[in-house]
Amino acid sequence: MNEVAARIPAGAVRVLVISTTGFTLMFAVWLMFGVLGVPIRDEFGLSDSQFAWLTSVAILNGSLWRLPAGIAADRWGGRLVSTAMLLFTAIPAFLISLTTSGGGGGYPLLLIYAFLVGFAGNAFTSGVAWVSAWWPRERQGFALGVFGGGNVGASVTKFIGPAMITAVPAAGLFGGLIPGGWRSVPFVYGLLLLIMAAVTWFASPVPDKRPGQSRALADMLAPLRQVRVWRFSLYYVVVFGAYVALSSWLPKYYVDVYELDLSHAALLTALFIFPASLLRPVGGWFSDRFGARRVMYATFAVMLVSSGVLMMPYGHIVIERIDGSSTEVLPWSVGPALFTALVFVMGCAMGVGKAAVYKHIPEYFPHDVGAVGGLVGSLGALGGFFLPPAFAAATGWTGLPQATFGVIFVITAAAALWMHLTIVRMLHGASPQLADKFDIDEGVSAAAEPVARGQ
């Protein structure tokens, strides 16, 4: 333990603290429409479909640039890339606070600004590359888990958003300098983004580490041809894409299904977000200690059970008596208390699983964390873009809002099956005598890699 600590470069802890703080803020900005969407829906008179697209376009732009952001951080350093991203994101945050439902574009203009502010979501892969460059391999699982805990930023808006919307009068503060109502949230975030950009630039260690500085772009992209990278991406759709989608969708779900007010809906959503974020360092430690694959098996199992129960209808079963003389109504429901508990459990599994997915990347691709982590993060976050419309479509098709969790159950089952079949093939190919032992460590999979490359 002391030998590992001795190998941690000076400045590594500072990089971890600054990058995690910046990522927490950027994540709060990225998912702020999960709370702002409800008052915006009421003011702009949006349909469910329009509401879904408002949250989805921000998630989309937070997915598109993850691969370039990871490569850029490897090549030019996380300090420069993170500072630039914070500064850029502040611009649409301020513009959102100026948007009105009347003239000047209304909903279409708001969609454009929501798309632009979604750029904040790309901060994850630049931060992963930055932290990985500074921390030794033996501690990367834990360090990346701590950094990934910045996902808790999604809870920031859930906690402060409703309070700010209520506290700041419609006319604003300081003569309208700070806009009123829901517009105060993106305005304050814009100010915080500018402050965090200055902290990142002036407080980070110099010179920065740039592991991809001298490598050709084609060499950095070469690992993306391996099927393994795409399999890891599907894992990340399950543990991160679904997390992002639910973070935005749950406030509406609580309001529409359980008829809660926005403040209580946001608070209960935070109970999902907190474990899904704060347990990420624990997931990193578990992955360092027991192997990422074991952790993924446990993650998928918990998610399948919890989503399987959550997709049950909320309501009653009416049973006709045999003689037909009367009916008997029996309760059959996932009420708000049980719903919240199961969503909390699912959030715990997601938090641990997110760290396990990213523990795989430096294990298999130690020199390509930026590119591979960028693609995995990009495709995982794209899941957060496609899933809200899928939730809306499944709900409309079945007439049951619980179909939301049926979608999650299906994609989780697909990822778990692909992982298990791949492990079976790897073991049969490299070590037939271990074919029935699936609970193996990463050393066995590394030995199997030449035989089952790309699986």
pTM over 0.85: no
Q: Which residue has the higher pLDDT, 69 or 224?
A: 69
Rounded distance, CA 324 to CA 144, Å?
63
> Is 163 within 8 Å of 275 (Cβ atoms)?
no
What is the predicted pLDDT for the residue at 60?
83
**231: pLDDT strictly greater than 80:** yes
Least confident of 27-31, 33-37, 278-282, 435-439: 435-439
Inter-CA distances, 191 with 40, 92, 259, 287, 431, Å: 21, 12, 34, 37, 57
**185: pLDDT strictly greater than 80:** yes
Nearest-CA neighbor of 12 among 171, 209, 150? 209
- The predicted-structure confidence for 359-401, as pLDDT tens digits, reads as follows 888 777 877 777 787 778 888 878 877 888 888 888 888 888 8
Rounded distance, CA 376 to CA 201, Å?
27
Rounded distance, CA 411 to CA 386, Å?
12
Burial class of residue 207 (count of CB atoms within 10 Å of its CB; 0-12, 13-18, 19+): exposed
Rounded distance, CA 360 to CA 283, Å?
12
Burial class of residue 433 (count of CB atoms within 10 Å of its CB; 0-12, 13-18, 19+): exposed
What is the predicted pLDDT for the residue at 181?
80
What is the predicted pLDDT for the residue at 413?
95
What is the predicted pLDDT for the residue at 429?
63
pLDDT range class, residue 445, cuts 50, 70, 90? very low
What is the predicted pLDDT for the residue at 119?
92
What's at 39, amino acid-wise? P
> Is 244 within 8 Å of 118 (Cβ atoms)?
no
Q: Which residue has the higher pLDDT, 69 or 83?
A: 83
What is the predicted pLDDT for the residue at 331?
45
- SS3 of the chain: helix, strand, coil, percent, to 5: 75, 5, 20
Inter-CA distances, 388 with 58, 204, 360, 407, Å: 12, 37, 27, 10
Question: For the chain, which residues make up each domain, given as ranges?
Answer: 2-448
Rounded distance, CA 379 to CA 234, Å?
8
- The predicted-structure confidence for 101-160, as pLDDT tens digits, reads as follows 765 568 888 889 999 999 998 898 889 889 888 888 777 777 887 887 787 777 777 777
What is the predicted pLDDT for the residue at 155?
72
Least confident of 211-220, 255-264, 391-400: 211-220
Task: Choose the most confident range, by mean pLDDT, from 49-53, 98-102, 219-223, 284-288.
Answer: 284-288
**Average pLDDT over every residue of 18-25:** 93
Rounded distance, CA 219 to CA 206, Å?
27
CB atoms within 10 A of CB 451: 14
What is the predicted pLDDT for the residue at 455?
45
For 215-222, which contacts have Cβ atoms below 8 Å and span 24 or more sequence positions?
215/74, 215/75, 217/71, 220/71, 220/74, 220/75, 220/368, 220/370, 220/371, 221/71, 221/371, 222/368
Supply the Cα-derived Rg of the chain in whole angstroms: 23
Rounded distance, CA 375 to CA 450, Å?
23
> Which alpha helices (DSSP H) does 258-402 contain, by range?
262-278, 280-290, 292-310, 336-364, 369-398
Angle formed at CA 59 by CA 279 and CA 281, multiple of 5 degrees: 15
What is the predicted pLDDT for the residue at 329?
44
> Is 89 within 8 Å of 75 (Cβ atoms)?
no
**330: pLDDT strictly greater than 70:** no
Q: Which residues pair with 320 in a beta bridge?
A: 327
> Is 252 within 8 Å of 50 (Cβ atoms)?
no
Which CATH code is given to the segment(s) 2-448?
A: 1.20.1250.20
Burial class of residue 313 (count of CB atoms within 10 Å of its CB; 0-12, 13-18, 19+): middle
Burial class of residue 104 (count of CB atoms within 10 Å of its CB; 0-12, 13-18, 19+): exposed
> Is 196 within 8 Å of 123 (Cβ atoms)?
no
Write the CB contacts of 107 (distance below 8 Å, at least 6 apart in sequence). Answer: 44, 46, 50, 101
What is the predicted pLDDT for the residue at 342?
93
Rounded distance, CA 280 to CA 286, Å?
10
What phi-psi label fits residue 174: left (phi over 0), alpha (psi between -120 and 50 degrees) or beta?
left
Assigned token pair, 139: 């501690």
